[in-house]
Amino acid sequence: MHKPGRPMALTERHVAFLQPPAIAEEMPPPPAGMIQGTREDHLATIASLMAEEPETSEVWFFAYGSLIWKPACDFVELRTGLVRGWHRSFCLGWNNRFRGSDENPGLMLALDRGGACKGVLYRIPANAVEDNLVKLLEREMGWRPSPFPPRWVTVQSGERSIRALTFCIDRNSGRYVSGLSVEQIADVLATAVGSRGSMAEYLFATVTHLEVLGIHDPHLWQLQDLVARRIEAVYGSG
């Protein structure tokens, strides 16, 4: 059972064993069937999203993974909240560039249908909504079509019910991964490394920031323990 304040098994020492390779001067082209998203693409996506919520006076986005510890755009307010009908899952595969390789591809977090997810709400400055949403989409939708397109969800935060943008997996995208056991996911997270770092680093940062915010995710907590054990088995206390 998790106890508040209990230290994580996965530490910066474990993460340090898994170093990214030297970054090539030029990034490889997008995966087959995908093209790089442009500012015009992102503006069109934003226009479509805003048309779905014409009464929105505040624009929020809901973070459940790396956007918690690297928001990608400016914000003026932060709140924790719960979204129902979606859960945090390592279901976006297979990443062989940024946090994986052809030999050991990585798995990224996305929201998948079912359950619930506690995460972080960020409110975008009212006087710079478009520019900041473009930054957000550039980060999350560098290539199109996106395997986890943005959509509106309802997030409960205290007494408030807030409509927010977030990124949910498209199960028909060809990038959807399901049916893996927690042990199989841990095997991936303990070995995959790419140009932006390792999956172990991604997991460590996500769990650390969730815990600081008072959000305990039992699944991620189990994974960080399993990943630490796997790295320890390979590298020992070296």
Q: Over 80: is that where the pLDDT of 209 sits?
A: yes
Q: Is 140 a catalytic residue?
A: yes
| Domain extent at residue 136 | 32-235
Amino acid at 98: F
Q: Spell out the alpha helix ranges (H) of 75-214.
A: 129-140, 182-189, 199-212
Which tens digits make up the pLDDT trace of 186-195? 999 999 998 8
Looking at residue 102, its pLDDT comes to 80
118 located within any domain: yes
Number of structural domains found in the chain: 1
17 located within any domain: no
Which tens digits make up the pLDDT trace of 64-108? 999 999 998 999 999 999 999 999 999 998 777 778 888 888 999
Number of H helices, E strands in the chain: 7, 9
d(CA 152, CA 158) in angstroms, rounded, equals 19
Q: What is the CATH number of the domain that holds 103?
A: 3.10.490.10
Q: Is the dihedral of CA 87, 90, 96, 102 positive or negative?
A: negative
Structure-block tokens of residue 184:
């199989």
Q: Return the minimum-mean-pLDDT range out of 26-35, 137-146, 159-168, 222-231.
A: 26-35
Structure-block tokens of residue 213:
């915010």
64 located within any domain: yes
9 located within any domain: no
62 located within any domain: yes
185 located within any domain: yes
Q: Band of the pLDDT at 55, cuts 50, 70, 90? A: confident
Can you give the pTM of this predicted structure? 0.91
Average pLDDT over all residues of the chain: 91
Are 136 and 156 in contact by the 8 Å Cβ rule? The answer is no
13 located within any domain: no
Helix axes 218-235, 199-212, angle to 10 degrees: 140
Backbone angles phi, psi at 204, to 5 degrees: -60, -45
Catalytic residue, candidates 140, 201, 211, 232:
140
105 located within any domain: yes
Q: Over 80: is that where the pLDDT of 4 sits?
A: no
Q: Over 90: is that where the pLDDT of 144 sits?
A: no
Q: Which residue has the higher pLDDT, 54 or 171?
A: 171
d(CA 67, CA 90) in angstroms, rounded, equals 15
